[in-house]
């Protein structure tokens, strides 16, 4: 749910990165096919640059920004602060990864999607161990649930 925000944009990583395209497609499915997506790098610098691009356009200023990574979100929040735009009062920001070294240290602390990367790493390690012992592993794709970790940026 968007907590009443209606002008949401998505700032994400490179278009040639499958995860960025999948997230962008789902964002557009949820927010409308004409919803704004900006593809760039997985970096704080791209977050800064994307905010400059968004704010220099004529048109609607977003009231929320959904970022494809916590690094991008940190750059977005820093750029908004430089422009004296209050997060979350004027523009809410949500990241993706729950990379705690970034999300907890961002000012304000970042609301983010937790992909359960520790559990994913654990499952990969267990599969590698099984393979090294010659044990069979089940073929296919294993999906882990994501969850929203609410902090102060939204």
pLDDT in tens, 60-92: 789 999 999 999 999 999 999 999 999 999 999
Q: Is residue 2 part of a domain?
A: no
Q: Is residue 63 part of a domain?
A: yes
- Res 1: pLDDT: 47
Residue whose structure tokens are 């010659």: 134
- Res 12: pLDDT: 97
Cis peptide before 108 (omega within 30 of 0): yes
Residue 21, domain extent? 8-116+145-149
Residue whose C-alpha is closest to residue 64's, from 73, 44, 56: 73
CB 148 within 8 Å of CB 98:
no
Q: Is residue 71 part of a domain?
A: yes
Q: Is residue 122 part of a domain?
A: no
Q: Is residue 92 part of a domain?
A: yes
Q: Is residue 107 part of a domain?
A: yes
Query: In the sheet where 37-39 sits, what is the strand order?
Result: 37-39, 8-12, 64-67, 92-97, 111-114, 147-149
CATH number, position 85 = 3.40.50.2300
Tell me the mean pLDDT in the region 46-60: 91
Q: For the chain, what is the domain count?
A: 1
On average, the pLDDT of the chain sits at 92
Q: What is the pTM assigned to this prediction? A: 0.86
Phi and psi (nearest 5°) for 21?
-65, -40
Q: Is residue 25 part of a domain?
A: yes
């Amino acid at each position: 749910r968007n907590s009443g925000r209606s002008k949401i944009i998505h700032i994400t990583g490179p278009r040639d990165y499958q995860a960025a395209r999948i997230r962008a497609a789902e964002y557009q499915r949820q927010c409308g096919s004409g919803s704004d997506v900006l593809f760039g790098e997985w970096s704080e610098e791209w977050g800064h640059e994307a905010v400059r691009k968004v704010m220099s356009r004529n048109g609607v200023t977003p009231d929320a920004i959904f970022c494809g990574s916590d690094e991008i979100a940190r750059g977005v929040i820093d750029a908004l602060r430089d422009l004296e735009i209050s997060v979350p009062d004027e523009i809410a920001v949500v990241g993706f990864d729950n990379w705690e070294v970034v999300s907890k240290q961002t000012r304000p602390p970042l609301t983010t999607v937790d992909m359960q990367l520790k559990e994913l790493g654990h499952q990969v390690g267990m599969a590698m161990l099984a393979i090294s012992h010659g044990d069979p592993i089940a073929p296919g794709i294993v999906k882990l649930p994501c969850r929203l970790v609410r902090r102060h940026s939204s």
